[in-house]
Amino acid sequence: MDVVDLQRPELLPDALRRRLNSIESLCRNEGNSEELVKHPEVRNVVIELDNYCMQRRVLGIHYTRAIRADIEQKGLLVRKGTEIRDEFVQRFGHKFETNEVEWLQKKWSSHQVTQSDVRDAMLWFNFTLNAYGGSGSEYLLGMYGGEQIHMGIEFDTPIGKKLANIGEPLLVKCALDPQKVSTFIEHPWGKILVSSFHLCVEPEAYRIDQDGKVTESISPEDLVVESAY
């Protein structure tokens, strides 16, 4: 099945590219994609593009610092935080002093448990590289294990430095079924594609991006693992 890269409208079929070209003048007169998609003419294009994507797959981007072979062999796994943290201690606990492991476990117990409803048994994705290098991605790429492990830990601490020496920074690009991705806006795929076209016309425009989550593991066959740096 086709995978739609929402950052690359130039790869769309000719008919859809013509639809985007028809709104070029509106793009030139608008500096914010959020405002652009409110135009009735643009909204029609958004809906058409969104319907196109819903019949295919969309490219999601997962930021992480991990052991590359783990992901290449097992894919991205949906797990509970307790499982992630228990495995971390079993696998990498020897890299930390006893008091550091105890400190981590206390921190997880006081903080992570309250976050379980937004992190347990789900995977989060972006659909552009807009967050790359900022928006918290430096923590996701810089310290091992994702927020289930390093939430609230800074780079310049002894534990932060050790977490920064495990694994490598990775961009995991996944072919996702849009029917199974939860987002927070209406017609997200069409809006992101229109925004990507907007930036082609007006590179300084403020783009639309969107987080999305899935609750099923992603198999190795549906992903490409790339170094983040």
Q: What is the mean pLDDT of each run of 10 residues along the chain (229 residues)?
A: 94 98 97 97 98 98 96 96 94 97 91 68 93 82 93 93 97 97 96 98 94 95 91
pLDDT of residue 73: 97
pLDDT for residue 167: 97
Residue 52's pLDDT is what?
98
Q: Tell me the Cα Rg of the chain.
A: 20
Q: Element (H or E) spanning 170, and its range?
A: strand 168-176
Half-sphere exposure of 134 (CA within 13 A, CB side): 3
Burial annotation 167-202 (CB, 10 A radius, 16+ → b, else e): bebbbbbbbbebeebebeeebbbbbbbbbbbbbebb
Question: In the prediction, which pLDDT does 161 show?
Answer: 97
**Gap between the Cα atoms of 212 and 62, Å rounded:** 10
Orientation angle between helical segments 14-21 and 188-201, nearest 10 degrees: 60
Q: How many Å apart are CA 84 and CA 139, to the nearest integer?
A: 17
Q: Give the C-alpha separation, 147 to 170, whole Å.
A: 15
Interatomic CA distance for residues 157 and 139, integer angstroms: 13
The pLDDT of residue 112 is: 59
CB 5 within 8 A of CB 59: yes
Strand 212-214 and strand 123-125: the pairing is antiparallel
Which residues neighbour 205 within 8 Å (Cβ) at sequence distance 6 or greater? 27, 30, 31, 32, 33, 36, 195, 198, 199
84 in helix, strand or coil?
helix
User: Using CA atoms, how far apart are residues 183 and 178, in angstroms rounded to an integer?
Assistant: 10
Q: What is the pTM of this model?
A: 0.92
pLDDT of residue 229: 77
CA distances from 192 to 1, 110, 111, 197, 214 (A): 20, 37, 33, 9, 18
* Cα 22 versus chain centre, distance: 30
